[in-house]
Structure 1
Amino acid sequence: MKRIVKKISLGLMMIQFPFLGFSQEAIKNNQHDFDPVMYRQGSVYRAASGIPGPEYWQNEADYKIEVTLDDVAHTVTGSVTLTYRNNSPEDLNYIWMYLEQNRFKADSRGTLTTPISGNRYSGDTDGGYTITRLEAKTGKGKVSNSYKVTDTRMQVIFNKPIAANGGTATVKVDFSYKIPRSGMDRMGQQDTDNGIIYSLAQWYPRVAVYDDVKGWNTEPYLGAGEFYCEYGDFDYKITVPYNHIVAASGKLMNEKEVMTKVQIERMRKAEKSQERVYIIAPDEVTDYKNIRPKQEGTITWHFSMKNTRDVAFASSKAFVWDAAKIDLPSGNKCVAQSVYPIEVSGDEAWGRSTEYTKASIEFYSKKWFEYPYISAVNVASNVGGMEYPGLSFCSMRAKGGGLYGVTNHEFGHNWFPMIVGSNERLYPWMDEGFNTFINNHLHLEFNNGEYLDMYKRARQGLEYYTSSTREGIDTYPDVVNTRNLGHTAYYKPALGLAILREYILGPERFDFAFRDYIHNWAFKHPQPSDFFNAMENATGENLNWFWRGWFYGNKNIDLALTGVYQQREGYIIVLDNMGEIPMPVQMRVVFDDGSTEDMTLPVEIWQRGDQWNHFFRTDKTIKSVRIDPDMLIPDINGSNDTWPKDFYNK
């Protein structure tokens, strides 16, 4: 009897728990896809909600600079005084500064890592800094002359540490260098009919960023990797030949000394005009007697810019100069300006530069965050396109849609990374990708869609996503194959934000979160984890599955509709995730009577596995079903998106 009871009990157990007593594999699920993509725990410095923490700090860097540009020797000579404030909780025995002109030396790391065939970031190799004096001092301590130069970095060592929590130091450096003709598509010289245009960037020794994540950020300046800069105030003077015009970041402080009375009157008119006003018209460029306040020697232009991470300038005797008012939401004063040579001054080219600049600044100010600077200057240059706070270099040869596109892109960078100061040298997707995303929105609206053909759609360029040579967004810019940089830094991250906005979250939820991220990190230094945390907290969504799949590695989207089976009171729709990235499933059902019904299944259907059966209740007859009917995601295999399979190809 006892034995019988045992057998019955065991039998009941097998009925209730059929997996007991047999060797079976555990059921595989996809939970890993939904787990945190990286260490994202908050701290007193960076909150888990994706905002700066209650003890967030960053150091400050103020600069006073005086330089002279020699247009015979093609050199810059001058001095910089850095006032550095250490807001970190640690004393600093030394600081690191960047000497980025050293990239233009034959033995620089950037030169030695450039392919023999060259690339966009090839540059001159006969340049580099000459440092003639360095004095470093903390508080009332002794002056130190100790420094070490390693490639594009310089370590400045103090006799007494810079005190934590607000201690200051000053570093004075006298320097000179030869202006490269080919400056890695970021600076250099452009020949024109009436003289050289000098585009000057990375033109003074500047301090590296010391932050709570890495300490000193000292990645060498090699090529594709751009910049990571501290914020501060700039006061700088540029001495040039008397017949030069200087266009620069920030506010011109001495216009009465460098502009004629007529030019100043024209600028006042431009500041109130919706249309461009010539400060120097095309037929005036070479009339130095009437357009320059001096007729010999040199002249000094004085500029100032507050709370910025950098400044840049251009100088030439060949400039046409025009300007127009920028309308900001708050009513703050701002002016768009353009400088360019006579030969490209027509309305099919640079004659519309100020219009494009004005439209870009106004659109992004209204949509995301108000432009914080007093002017926006577009410079016709040897540079294809490069951005600095309040100033852009764009190709002199650009025209029409090409000039519109590069102007829109470069001025969009004032939001990423000039306002939101991410680390471009490590995470280009946080500036290039985010900027490309906001550029796409302006394409839709500018001048009633004049350049709508520049709008990028989700299923353009799908061949890249299945290429054997593709690389992930997380690939560092100096490591990535130059041919892939456009995808890894620009298009793929921009498309990722578009997928979030249009397909996953919807415009209202996305825009609220994205604006919040910009506002909270304006003039600060966010990391990737800060962005991820900010978007998840503000939208209320676990998006780990998307960050991991789209921003890290080479995974792809391939949702499939593998069957539609009629049942009593409706249909069973069979779905498969044949790719490696789970996604919500948007579907459009078309009925025999011509009516349609849209539905969205949440991403969580893929947590347990890669197949899902959905019961669709209806008393109508289904004619066809389509996944992603508006083609908002880059599904790599569109042939399995419909039922019947060939319905949409008929």
Structure 2
Amino acid sequence: MKFVQNAAMALLLCCAASKMVQAQETDTNNQSPFMEFTEPNGNRYRTATGRPGPEYWQNRTDYEIRATLDDEAHTITGKLTLTYTNNSPENLDFIWMHLEQNRFTPTSRGNLTTPIQGNRYNGDIDGGYEITNLKASVKRGSSSEHIITDTRMQVFFNEPIPANGGTGTVSMDFNYKIPVKGMDRMGRVDTQNGTIYAMAQWFPRAAVLDDIEGWNVIPYLGAGEFYLDYGDYDYYITAPSDHIVVASGALQNPNEVMTATMRDRMDKASKSDSTVFIVKPGEINDASLKVKQEGTLTWHFKMENTRDVAFASSKAFIWDAAKINLPSGKTALAQSVYPVESKGDAAWGRSTEYTKNSIENYSNMWFEYPYPVAVNVAAEVNGMEYPGVSFCSWKSKGKDLWGVTDHEFGHNWFPMIVGSNERLYPWMDEGFTTFINYYSSEQFNNGEYAGNLDQTRNRVNWYLDPDSQGIETYPDVVDIRNLGMTAYVKPATGLLLLREYILGKERFDNAFKSYIKTWSYKHPQPNDFFNHMNNVAGENLEWFWKGWFYGTGTIDLGIENVVPYQGDYVIILSNKGDLPMPVKMSVGYEDDTSEIIELPVEIWERGNDWNYLLETDKRVKTVELDPDKIVPDVNFSNDIWPVATYSK
């Protein structure tokens, strides 16, 4: 833009600015983006402040399981007893249970809705549950009545489970063939020294009954993950005697399944900040580290107040561990198991270091890790999370291994501690976890594997793509090409914007930590999160929840002009996008000084144009919107005003 070189032109611009200032007083109303979006009125179950209400309830599921792994037939055979506590206000004639292994059959809904070309969620089709000896009882007698439909089972009781704390029990025997391809969530893989079994969704699990949906019985198709109640797990895994079994929770019988040498090494690891081998690479087939040379061993685990458990078993495992230091002074144990193909400091030799640092970072920054162990398992799974256990690719190395390890263990906060509904709202676990991953990667080893979530403008083309979809899109129908953005990156970017641009670190962290603590081991819905953040941060963010988390609107703030006005300057701003945002701009002066000016989002409530009066006795050289480039503005061309000086 050319300089203003004569008084006539300056006078003309001054007059124009004067008219714009006057016109602003009568600008059209622009309330639509700011209209109430969340459900503000609380009830006895969920309050308007985004907290559980005085009569909030959720049911409880306690499990006793005994299962046997057959590494020749590749099967699991088990017996399960579920104690179901009905804290709801209504009597229950039946409960629903998930049978997710039934996804691995030719006629499953998940298989029949998989595209011909396949996707990440392909799975075997020669599996599925055999359920026998089912008994459901409340007080007297029992019922065996049940209906299996795809991946769901309806279990009927001989009499209703009473409301407000009544209990019923369900017991059954089950068996199935362990899939090789378990939809990138579980399964088995053959390695040089044996098969690795990564076992998840490995037993029938009770569905959630809540005050929002009633019974949550959406079938298991693929992209939609899990939603489960909390309880205590007491379970036994019988495996071949040459196997190592690692699992969610604390091992109860180390003397029966580990040699004295292994126990001594584990004790050293529990006191060491550096990784200690329990089984070294050269000891995988060492008979002196086997409690028994043949037959089977039964590994006994317990885990309290958890929504699920998973385990892994193999004779091919290298095993190492280190101490996790927690803010309260307590400790936990980071562990890794992996085959010889994955060893070395360029690969899984650093897995326990990664696990330890990840857990410590999240504990210090957000909420203390509650589980006794954090086990990273090398498997034929690209990345999948369960309470206290993660499955990551046995082929991952370096930055990739850090990234997947950090992400999957981040899931212990979302949705393991904060028990959101993954099957409906993946953004509440994947997006939140991707967000906290960014700060963990910044912290780890002075940014050795620093992330790029803050490089928001690298993804502008997706926001402009007519085929993009909103965060709220149901995961099992979202275009698989969009899932990474809708479930992971866009919601994570939304939280980044809140922390780094809209609220600031102090207000955001206070609200976000409060949300985690308030909803730990409970079932928040999207409105609970929105309302809680609004109330604790002290900010009406309806415009942001509506514009960013729902729909596909874009951000386009711009500088239309900068003109002299009565000895000062008027900066003429515009909002040409669908989503309003607060304005942060850097004003640079001819004396090489600069200042940051911030304007609230409310400037856009009266229209999509705003004139800001800059009072200064300096000559303006440049004005730049969003100097830190945090906002994913889709139009870069109007972010900078390049005119040098005006005569004043």
TM-score normalized by the length of structure 1: 0.94
Indicate conservation of the 8 Å contact 1:443/1:455, yes or no: no
- Give 3-state SS (helix, strand or coil) of 2:399's partner: helix
Structure 2 residue aligned with 1:196:
195
Q: Indicate whether 1:121 and 2:115 are aligned.
A: no
Aligned to 1:9: none
Measured in 1, the distance between the counterparts of 2:341 and 2:428 equals 37
Deviation for aligned residue 1:313: 0.4
Query: What secondary structure, in the 3-state scheme, does the structure 1 residue paired with 2:487 have?
Result: helix
Q: Report matched runs for 1:462-611 at 5 Å.
A: 462-611=460-609
Q: Using the alignment, how far apart are the partners of 1:318 and 1:534 within structure 2?
A: 47
Amino acid of the structure 2 residue aligned with 1:282: P
Q: Deviations over 1:80-108 (max 9, x none)?
A: 10000000111011100000000001000
Aligned 8 A contact 1:242 1:298 in 2: yes
Match of 1:367 in 2: 365
Alignment partners' CA distance in 2, 1:206 and 1:525: 17
Residues 1:178 and 1:646: Cα distance change in structure 2 (over 3 Å): farther
In structure 1, what residue type is equivalent to 2:234? D
The residue that corresponds to 2:176 in the other structure is: 177
Letter of the 2:564 partner, please give it.
Answer: Q
- Aligned partners of 1:240 and 1:500: how far apart in 2? 49
**What is the Cα deviation at residue 38 of structure 1?**
3.3
Q: Deviations over 1:361-416 (max 9, x none)?
A: 00000000000000100000000000000000000000000000000000000000
Q: Which amino acid aligns with 1:283?
A: G
Show the counterpart of 1:95. Answer: 95
Question: For residues 207-257 of structure 1, what are the alpha-carbon distances to aligned partners after superposition, in whole Å with 9 as ceiling and x for unaligned?
Answer: 000011111011110000000000000000000111000010000000000
- In 1, are the aligned partners of 2:453 and 2:489 still within 8 Å (CA)? no
Q: Distance in 2 between matches of 1:27 and 1:93?
A: 60
Deviation at 1:35? 1.6
Q: Match for 1:432 among 430, 433, 437?
A: 430
Letter in 2 for 1:57: W
Contact 1:373/1:390 (CA < 8 Å) preserved in 2?
A: yes
What residue number does 1:452 align with? Answer: 450
Contact 2:620-2:644 at 8 Å conserved across structures:
no
The CA RMSD measured in Å over matched residues stands at 1.2
Deviations 1:53-90 (A, max 9, x none): 11111100000000100000000011110000000111
Q: Name 1:15's counterpart in structure 2.
A: none
The question of whether the paired residues in 2 share the 8 Å contact of 1:401 and 1:451 is answered with: yes
Aligned counterpart, 2:384? 386
How many angstroms does 1:141 deviate by?
2.6
- Counterpart in the other structure of 1:63: 63
1:267 is aligned to: 266
Partner of 2:244: 245
1:31 deviation in Å?
Answer: 1.2
Give the aligned partner of residue 204 of structure 2: 205
State yes or no: 1:640 paired with 2:600: no
Q: Which position in structure 2 is the counterpart of 1:627?
A: 625
Contact 2:622 2:644 in 1 (8 A): no
The one-letter code of the counterpart of 1:388 is Y
Cα distance in 2 between the residues matched to 1:538 and 1:453: 28
Cα distance, 1:597 vs structure 2: 1.1
Q: Report the Cα offset of residue 191 of structure 1.
A: 1.3
Alpha-carbon distance in 2 for matches of 1:132, 1:580? 56
Q: Which residue, out of 398, 401, 408, partners 1:400?
A: 398
**Whole-angstrom distance in 2 between the partners of 1:35 and 1:141:** 55
Q: Check conservation: 2:96, 2:153, Cα contact below 8 A.
A: yes
- Assess if the C-alpha contact under 8 Å between 1:228 and 1:421 holds in 2: yes
Cα distance, 1:619–1:165 mapped onto 2, change above 3 Å: same
The answer for unaligned runs of 5 or more in structure 1 is: 1-25
Confirm or deny: 8 A CA contact 1:180 1:189 kept in the other structure.
yes
- What residue identity is the alignment partner of 2:336? S
For 2:355, the equivalent position in structure 1 comes to 357
* Alignment check: 8 A CA contact 2:454 2:630 kept: no
CA contact (8 A) 1:639 1:645 kept: no
Following the alignment from structure 2 to structure 1, what is the Cα–Cα distance between the partners of residues 373 and 452?
26
C-alpha separation in 1, matches of 2:141 and 2:166: 15
Distance in 2, Cα, partners of 1:198 & 1:641: 54
What code does the residue aligned with 1:109 have? R
CA-to-aligned-CA distance 1:561-589 (integer Å, 9 cap, x gap): 00100122310111110000010000100
Is the 2:438–2:450 contact (alpha carbons within 8 Å) kept by the matching residues of 1? no
Look up the SS of the partner of 1:84 in the other structure.
strand
Q: Quick one: distance in 2 between partners of 1:526 and 1:222?
A: 23
Native 8 Å contact 2:454 2:496 kept in 1: no
Q: CA deviation at 1:646?
A: 11
Which one is further off, 563-572 or 316-325? 563-572
Deviation at 1:442, TM superposition (A): 1.0
Partner of 2:31: 31
Identity %: 62
Query: 1:479-529 deviations in whole A, cap 9, x for unaligned?
Result: 101111000000000000000000000000000000000000000000000
Structure 1 Cα separation of the partners of residues 626 and 147 of structure 2: 58
Q: What secondary structure does 1:177 align onto?
A: strand
1:329 paired to 2:331: no
CA distance in 2: counterparts of 1:31 and 1:453, whole angstroms: 37
Look up the match of 1:136: 136
Q: Which whole-Å CA distance do the structure 1 matches of 2:276 and 2:118 have between them?
A: 41
- In structure 2, distance between residues paired with 1:460 and 1:319: 40
Q: How many residues align?
A: 620
Check conservation: 2:554, 2:579, Cα contact below 8 A. Answer: yes
* CA distances 1:245-275 after superposition (whole Å, capped 9, x unpaired): 0010000000000000010010000000010
Distance 1:453 1:212, change over 3 A: closer
Q: Distance in 2 between matches of 1:565 and 1:239?
A: 79
1:111 has 2:111 as partner: yes
Q: Deviations over 1:523-574 (max 9, x none)?
A: 0000000000000001111100000000001001000100100122310111
State the alpha-carbon separation in 1 of the partners of residues 117 and 644 from structure 2.
47
- Specify the alignment match of 2:83 in structure 1: 83
Partners of 2:583 and 2:390 lie apart in 1 by 42
Aligned to 1:23: none
Deviates more, 1:527-536 or 1:26-35: 26-35
Contact map agreement 2:438 2:451 (CA 8 A) in 1: no
Deviations 1:311-333 (A, max 9, x none): 00000000000000000011113
Equivalence for 1:421: 419
State the match for 1:340 in structure 2. 338
The unaligned stretches of length 5 or more in structure 2 are: 1-25
| 2:145 equivalent in structure 1 | 146
State the AA in 2 paired with 1:551: F
Change (3 A) 1:95 1:581: same
Which residue is equivalent to 2:235?
Answer: 236
Is the 2:269–2:275 contact (alpha carbons within 8 Å) kept by the matching residues of 1?
A: yes
